[in-house]
Amino acid sequence: MLQQTQVDRVKPKYLAWRQAWPTTKSLAEAPLHDVLKLWSGLGYNSRAKRLRDSARAVMERFGGKWPRDIAELESLPGFGPYTARAVASFSYNVDTAVIDTNVRRVMSRIFFGIRATEQSELDEVVEHILPRGKSSDWNAALMDFGSAVCTSRSPKCKTCPMKNYCRAYPAILDQNRMKKVSSVKFQDSDRYLRGQIIKHVIEQGSVPRMALIASLQRMKVVDKKRVVRLMDLLVVEGLVVERNGRLYIAS
């Protein structure tokens, strides 16, 4: 839930999720319609489906107990290297580095300065300095440090406890001043439009494809080809099914 989503948006959804499905078994048995309805507002609806599908895989293949082995975690739906290592570290304190955007930024600046860093050399450093037996605390601390101090746009270098060791300081201050920030409004993003498609189908139970396209176009200026592309992607991803020209939430 927290991937690319702010904590204040996640917290009420997380609490509601835990209340609705307090066990792996209950989540595995949940209809996708209910899962997506509760998830609504977080975006990236495919994550909700993969989480439900992962719960089913854990019940079927691991007797309801989430594995701690990274390779076994990576075999679950939607689990890539990052998610597998995050679960292994935070749930079981397995000695493995968890490299998210914040950790990557912190480690790159401290050890490599402002130059572009190859992922392989960054991985080697982060794994090497990992304090054994303290994986969970260490990874959480690095993430918090990146979000609170070593931020992307306005790093707090002058009060940073690492500034005397950081190869990016003070050059990073000049580099950030020269950056021009260009952003796309959330309402103009594919993420928002995908969420609107899902929301319409959930609320109506099923909806004709052409009627939904017209509804989205009335809501805002949206290219028809773009809406069709996103609908087709939702079908391919297994979130939505189409029967006789109508869209339904998959089972």
Distance from C-alpha of 219 to C-alpha of 197, rounded to nearest angstrom? 12
Tokens encoding 177: 């001043």
Label residue 135 exposed, middle or buried (CB < 10 Å: 0-12, 13-18, 19+): buried
What structural domains does the chain harbor?
A: 186-249 (1.10.10.10)
The pLDDT value given to residue 66: 97
Distance from C-alpha of 200 to C-alpha of 194, rounded to nearest angstrom? 10
The pLDDT value given to residue 103: 95
DSSP 176-238: HHH-------GGGSHHHHHHHHHHHHHHHSEEEHHHHHHHHHHHS---HHHHHHHHHHHHHTT
Q: Which residues pair with 207 in a beta bridge?
A: 247
Is there a contact between 212 and 65 (Cβ–Cβ < 8 Å)? no
The pLDDT value given to residue 178: 55
The pLDDT value given to residue 179: 58
The pLDDT value given to residue 86: 96
109: left (phi over 0), alpha (psi -120 to 50) or beta: alpha
Q: Name the pairing type of β-strands 246-249 and 240-243.
A: antiparallel
Question: Pick from 63, 76, 75, 64: which is nearest to 24 by CA?
Answer: 64
The pLDDT value given to residue 26: 98
Reported pTM: 0.81
Is there a contact between 79 and 54 (Cβ–Cβ < 8 Å)? yes
The pLDDT value given to residue 217: 77
Q: Which residue ranges of the chain lie beneath pLDDT 50?
A: none
The pLDDT value given to residue 6: 85
DSSP 119-163: HHHHHHHHHHHPPTT-HHHHHHHHHHHHHHTS-SSS--GGG-TTT
Is there a contact between 2 and 10 (Cβ–Cβ < 8 Å)? yes
Distance from C-alpha of 5 to C-alpha of 10, rounded to nearest angstrom? 7
Query: Token match 């050059």: residue?
Result: 171
